[in-house]
């Protein structure tokens, strides 16, 4: 189980995991890169925040809300 901070930002690798990292980063949302970005584009996943020209991140609060939404949908069937 992941322990997310109350506030702050997460990078893509922290959300979808990075098996090539040392040590490997387990996924919070177990989807691939293309699936993640397709979900962002369609509105299924939260919109990112640009922290710099080459730095894209997501608010922890938005990821927590996504997790709650996915759990709720899973519990409903």
DSSP string across 44-60: SSPPPEEEETTEEEEEH
pLDDT tops 70 at residue 2: no
Residue 16 to residue 32: CA distance in whole angstroms: 7
Q: What is the maximum span of the chain, computed from C-alpha positions, in angstroms? A: 41
Q: pLDDT per residue over 7-63, tens digit each? A: 999 999 999 999 999 999 999 999 999 999 999 999 999 999 999 999 999 999 999
C-beta of residue 14 within 8 angstroms of C-beta of residue 23:
no
> What DSSP designation does 26 have?
P
């Amino acid at each position: 189980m992941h322990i997310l901070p109350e506030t702050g930002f997460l990078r893509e690798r922290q959300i979808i995991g990075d098996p090539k990292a040392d040590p490997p980063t387990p996924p919070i949302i177990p989807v691939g890169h293309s699936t993640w970005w397709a979900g962002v584009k369609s509105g299924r996943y939260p919109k990112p925040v640009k922290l710099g020209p080459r730095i894209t991140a997501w608010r922890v609060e938005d990821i927590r809300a996504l997790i709650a939404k996915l759990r709720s949908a899973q519990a409903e069937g």
